Chain A
Amino acid sequence: MIPAGFDYEVADSPAHALELLGSSADAKLLAGGHSLLPAMKLRVARPSLLVDIGRLAESSYVRDAGVQVAIGALTRHKDVRDAPLLREHCPIVSFTAGEIGDPQVRHRGTIGGSIAHGDPASDLPSVMLALDAELVVRGSEGERIVPAREFFTGVFQTAVGAGEMLVEIRVPKLGASTGWSYVKMTRRAQDWATVAVAAIVERSNGSIERAAIALTNMGGTTLRATAAEEAIASGTPIDEAAALIPEGTEPPSDYAASAEFRLHLAEVLGKRALAEALER
């Protein structure tokens, strides 16, 4: 399978990337290419111009930003997994990056590409949503900060507009009373999530006081399990609250699972995620 023909330019800075992106109506950014190239090989995507941002070394970093950790959009999954700052302050991000695909995928794919692609089956969007992360989007007018809750707008759709680029991801440093978990169910070892659940919990006296729960592959975008979160905040025991996790979701039926099985999985994996988050 060979993609349809296209023009190709290499960006040497984020500003240059935006300039090139603006030069053609259906230009696309190329980061790691591990979502875009498979789509182009299937000819589901046929951009006329690819702007390669994969060589922007200055956009690959993990740095301390006070109460947050800032991650450059072009940081590869492998480097996110291995970053000491994330392992120390926000381990759910490094852990989940290590759960993506296989080593070959992690050597090429980037955190920015994973998030900007807006695939409801991708892992990092749920982690961003559960963390209430901030996404820094750059356009010709400058930069704006988009909260994760406003970022994922539909299937393969995000707040990144045409002619814009996701440049940085900011995640909070988690304190000692905050627990986390990402539980992913796959059909085959290297696969995408059939369903996965991200949980961030605030612990107090050995129980969960508050929880943020985000769901992968349970609808058109990553979703927060609001009903379950509210139940936990008002003191409902975890097992009972977990039964509310699937509420309001409309998961897909596909080769990997029926919608009905996904509703079941969301509850079971959610319960496991909450129990694990309470312990770590």
Chain B
Amino acid sequence: MRHVALTVNGERHELDLEPRALLVYVLRERLGLVGTTVGCDTSACGACTVLVNGEAVKSCTMLGVQADEMEITTIEGLASNGDLHPVQQAFHDHHALQCGFCTPGMVLASVSLIESGEATSENAIRIGLEGNLCRCTGYHNIVKAVQAVAGVS
């Protein structure tokens, strides 16, 4: 067991973790934050994407202990005071989800892409979201939602 401190959605948690516990399971099973989904468990689909110190990371490919003293944002932490984050609102407005399974990861990957200044064109957004798969294949509306927030046509 290793003692770590994770700041998740602004709240500090001190936990004793088995080193082999993957971050996604720490979030889901220890902290009850089940908004982060597991699609493939093999680093391929991006469903488990969260922000680690502001950047998109696949939480099935990171150990909980590697996140010691880091800041993590999950889908549960994006809205503030009951207002959806602009990316969440844009997904709603553009009908950018169907079954919703890929959505938490898509939203967080989009937030990271927009905040890094890389969402500069429709094509840049498509390439920037290449690590996230949508089994419902609703890519066009996802890209439109991100374009709306990034202000690119």
Which residues from chain A sit less than 8 Å from chain B, CB to CB?
1-8, 10, 30, 33-34, 37-38, 40-41, 50, 52, 54, 78, 101-105, 107-108, 189-190
Contact = CB atoms under 8 A, between A and B. Distances in A.
Given A33-B61, A52-B66, A189-B127, A102 B46 contact: yes
Contacts of A33: 61-63, 66
A2 B66 contact: no
B20 A104 contact: no
B18 A104 contact: no
Report, as a range, how many residues of chain B touch the other chain: 20 to 34
Interface in B12-68: 18-22, 25, 41-44, 46, 49, 52, 55-58, 61-63, 65-66, 68
A3 to B, nearest CB: 5
Contact of A103 (B20, B21, B113): B113
Contacts of B46: 102, 104
A126 B142 CA distance: 35
A54 B20 CA distance: 16
A75 B41 CA distance: 26
18 contacts: A1-B41, A1-B42, A2-B20, A6-B19, A8-B63, A8-B65, A37-B62, A41-B42, A50-B19, A52-B66, A54-B66, A102-B131, A103-B109, A103-B113, A104-B46, A104-B49, A104-B109, A107-B56
Contact of A2 (B22, B44, B116): B22
By secondary structure, the A interface counts as mixed
Count chain A CB atoms within 10 A of each CB in B41, B52, B66 and give the residue with the most.
Answer: B66
Contacts, number: 80
Contacts of B20: 2-6, 40
A78 B65 CA distance: 22
Contact of B131 (A3, A40, A190): A190
B10 to A, nearest CB: 21
A107 to B, nearest CB: 5
Contact of B43 (A34, A103, A189): A34
B53 to A, nearest CB: 9
Nearest to A52: B66
Given A102-B131, A108-B62, A8 B55 contact: no
* Residue among B18, B62, B118 with most chain A CB within 10 A: B62
Interface in B54-88: 55-58, 61-63, 65-66, 68
Given A2-B20, A6-B20, A102-B46, A189 B65 contact: no
Of listed A34, A52, A102, A105, residue having the most chain B CB within 10 A: A102
Contacts of A41: 22, 41-42
A100 to B, nearest CB: 11
Contacts of A37: 22, 61-63
Given A33-B63, A52-B66, A104 B56 contact: yes
B130 A190 contact: yes
A-B interface, 7 closest residue pairs, ranked by CB to CB distance from nearest: A102-B131, A8-B19, A189-B130, A107-B55, A190-B130, A3-B20, A104-B131
Specify which of A33, A37, A107, A189 lies most central, judged by the most chain B CB atoms within 10 Å of its CB.
A107
Contact of B57 (A6, A30, A101, A107): A107
Interface in B99-153: 109, 112-113, 116, 118, 127-128, 130-132
